A and B are shown apart, each in its own frame.
Chain A
Amino acid sequence: MERALSSFFPSPGRHARLVCGRAFAFNAAMQDPLPPAAAAMSPDDLLLAVGRARDRAAFAALFGHFAPRLKAYLRRLGADAQGAEELVQEVMLLVWRRAETFDPAQASAATWVFTIARNRRIDALRREQRPEIDPDDPALVPDPVEPADRTLETAQDSGRLRAAIRALPPEQAELLRMAYFEDKPHSAIAVERGLPLGTVKSRLRLALDRLRKALRDPS
């Protein structure tokens, strides 16, 4: 994915930091013509192509990339094989319908798809509302930083983040898996493992320090 993106965005000096925000490199790059072969495109570019042109070849490639991962995600969270297949269909249909709202300055395609799948799973399997902010609410306290100065999750960030997750010690990686894949909040982990909540929290802090370092220091 990084290789595909860097050939598509040859600029070497891209921001490599993830925090809320928006970057400049994408804006320039978005005016480039899309390469013809969907197979060579990164998920971000595929999703942009779907959003802009309802590109079915790009959507098929996106499906090839994400659908098997979404199925794995939903099975880990307790869906049976058939239920997971059905939910993958629904999630990918939402990806198709909402693709034009994808903003690569805000998140990677994987992150965007993850949030759709997470919310759909909560709705379908847990039968629960997921409270979320309304960005247009006048009562929302706005970000103090000007949008132009904000940075984002770039493709390099995603790559470094994944490498940092692979490098986590097992007891730290397990905390991530439980929160994201096993529907277990940290308070439940502490009780289940007989660990003080403070121990769980300090392990979590160590893990997040590593991940944030990977995101913020492009070394």
Chain B
Amino acid sequence: MSLPLHHPGDALLMDYAGGCLGEAGGLVVATHLALCPGCRCAVAELDAVGGALLEELEPDALAPGALDRLFARLDEPPPYEEPPTPPRIAPPAVPSLIPEPLRRYVGGNPAAMRWRMMAPGFQCVDIPLSRGERARLIRMKGGAAAPRHSHEGLELALVLDGGFSDALGQFARGDVAVGDGSIDHKPVADPEGCLCLSVTLGRLRLTGAVGRFLNPFMRL
């Protein structure tokens, strides 16, 4: 299998490693990481930057007795660890098109999902996330074109199967298309169609506005 050619880029990888990327962006980045050894390596380096920054912090003394309190808990039996919600889906016998961590959100079989028609040639499955964020699986028929647009905010699309092309190039399995307001684009699905994971980040967190999804796919 060929490796991805289009990557999330340093800024998103650092946001992910630093822990400030929300669940929606994290879902795209982590699912890309499952398909991209190079970016896994880059994230390991950025985790090391986190370790170095932790070492460099000015220590803030704990309250007296903190160590004693902790020692008193060391022999506690570990609490029952709740399974992650949504629960992890057992790996299928045949490797799925949909790798973890996305699989635990939507399952591994696109044919079993409840697709909703968005527009001719476009279907989607909404993926609810914490804090009102949202991601979508989008299925485009061969040759289907999203409306031309540009906007504020950052849209991420990770190709899982098939592919699409736009002004930035051709995108195939594992590739991440990162669009921001400076790009006026019009993705067109490859002849075999396209399955992708799509999220829009952007000013949501800053303005507190809820549900302003500006992604071209989201608008449909």
Contact = CB atoms under 8 A, between A and B. Distances in A.
B36 interface: yes
Given A137-B91, A141-B34, A201-B9, A187 B49 contact: no
Given A139-B100, A141-B3, A133 B40 contact: yes
Which of B18, B37, B63, B78 has the largest count of A CB atoms less than 10 A from its CB? B18
B57 interface: yes
A113 B54 contact: yes
A20 interface: yes
A5 to B, nearest CB: 13
A131 B26 contact: yes
Nearest to A129: B23
Contacts of A145: 37
Contacts of B14: 176, 179, 186, 204, 208
B47 A139 contact: no
Contacts of A136: 91
**What range describes how many residues of B lie at the interface?**
35 or more
Interface in A134-165: 134, 136-145, 153, 157-158, 161-162, 165
Interface string B24-55: 01110111011111001100110111111111
B205 A188 contact: yes
Interface residues of A, number: 93
**Would you call the interface of chain A mostly helix, strand, loop, or mixed?**
helix
Interface in A92-147: 92-93, 96-97, 106-115, 117-119, 121-122, 126-134, 136-145
Interface string B71-95: 1011000100000110010011001
A204 B11 contact: yes
Given A85-B62, A131-B101, A113 B10 contact: no
Contacts of A131: 23, 26-27, 29-31, 101-102
Interface stretch (A7-15, A29-37, A70-78): A70-78
A182 interface: yes
Interface string A180-208: 11111111100110000110110011001
Which of B12, B60, B98, B100 has the largest count of A CB atoms less than 10 A from its CB? B60
Nearest to A182: B20
B220 interface: no
Nearest to A71: B60
B1 interface: yes
A158 B20 contact: no
A215 interface: yes
Nearest to A142: B37
Contact of B131 (A18, A97, A127, A204): A127
Nearest to B28: A131
A177 B56 CA distance: 11
A18 B47 CA distance: 11
A132 B92 CA distance: 18
Contacts of B53: 114, 165, 176-177, 180-181
Contacts of B51: 107-114, 153, 158
B15 A133 contact: no
B52 A110 contact: yes
Interface of B: 1, 3, 9-12, 14-15, 17-23, 25-27, 29-31, 33-37, 40-41, 44-45, 47-63, 66-67, 69-71, 73-74, 78, 84-85, 88, 91-92, 95-103, 129-131, 153-154, 174, 180, 182, 201-203, 205-206
Interface of A: 1, 18-20, 56, 59-60, 63-64, 66-73, 75-76, 84-85, 88-89, 92-93, 96-97, 106-115, 117-119, 121-122, 126-134, 136-145, 153, 157-158, 161-162, 165-166, 176-188, 191-192, 197-198, 200-201, 204-205, 208, 211-212, 215
Closest 5 CB pairs of A and B: A111-B51, A68-B59, A179-B18, A110-B51, A139-B99
17 contacts: A18-B44, A19-B44, A71-B60, A85-B62, A106-B44, A118-B50, A129-B23, A137-B99, A139-B97, A139-B99, A141-B3, A165-B56, A179-B14, A185-B22, A185-B205, A192-B206, A200-B11
